[in-house]
Amino acid sequence: MLVIDTSFPSTGFNERNGEPVRQVILHYTAAPFKSSLHTLTHDGVSAHYLLPDPDEPSYRRAGYDELRVFHLVDEDKRAWHAGVSHWLGRDNLNSRSIGIEIVNLARDDQGVFSFPAYSQEQVVVLIDLLRDILARYPQIGPTDILGHSDVAYWRKRDPGPRFPWQDLYEAGVGAWFDESTRAMYQRRFCVALPPEVEVERAFQRYGYKPAQNRQAFEQRTRAFQMHFRSRDDCGFLDAQTCAILYALNERYRGI
């Protein structure tokens, strides 16, 4: 059962100015529960929800009986979690999204990343929370459940390659590709990859921001791989990555 705790409201929000909610953006905190709760309620960043890790010491010490979700900002207010971001031709997604911060102690040691797994209990509660949100916003489609790295690939890696996107999809939340469509495209692309200009269009059609240069192209490829092929997020455009992208577009964008 979903337990929502509203006892720590955040000061970090403003008005949505009439923009409809269209996306849910998932983040990791890269910090323990206690300091994350403080940051997200006092500083210039916030999110609508904070989901702790039940095994993380600062949450265990807080003494709650169950894994609860902290509701920090009302959904009809604009929280400050996405920053400079882009999806499907729109910028600055804070106005149009609900942000969920998930406690996970990922680390970035000067570009050397480590990504701990998410706890099973955390994933179960997250799925409950997302189902709860989706029931209230029927306009949020499968391809609108996104990672921060999808909408800000040039500067963000969260929720990281250990995030279980496929488990969410199998629970009815978010997008995934059809396996036989992927295999069909992959047989074709093993012979020759599509021209890069076509791949660029395919990324944009799915929702990603246009890549302005080679570095951005690789960053976006890596972000896409973290989401849909996380066992190898090399950032190199290969036949399988292209095949997944084309299979997703065929399923969700009608081409």
Q: Is 227 in the site for Zn ion (CB under 5 A)?
A: no
**How far is it, in rounded angstroms, from Cα 132 to Cα 126?**
10
Q: Is 150 in the site for Zn ion (CB under 5 A)?
A: no
How near is the Cβ of 199 to Zn ion at its closest, in Å? 26
**Cis peptide preceding 164, ω within 30 of 0:** no
Q: Where are the beta strands (DSSP E) in 105-190?
A: 107-109, 112-114, 145-147
Q: Is 27 in the site for Zn ion (CB under 5 A)?
A: yes
How near is the Cβ of 24 to Zn ion at its closest, in Å? 13
How near is the Cβ of 27 to Zn ion at its closest, in Å? 3
Residue 101 is among the residues annotated as catalytic for this protein: yes
- Only one of the segments 24-32, 86-94, 122-130, 193-201 lies at the binding site for Zn ion (rule: CB under 5 A); that segment is 24-32
Binding mask 127-146 for Zn ion (x = CB under 5 A): --------------------
Helix H or strand E encompassing 156 = none
Give 231's Cβ-side CA count (13 Å radius): 2
Helix H or strand E encompassing 132 = helix 120-136
**How far is it, in rounded angstroms, from Cα 97 to Cα 49?**
12
Among 158, 186, 221, 241, binds Zn ion (CB under 5 A): 158
Name the catalytic one among 19, 56, 66, 101.
101
User: Residues interacting with Zn ion, by CB under 5 A?
Assistant: 27, 148, 158
| Active site residue ranges | 101
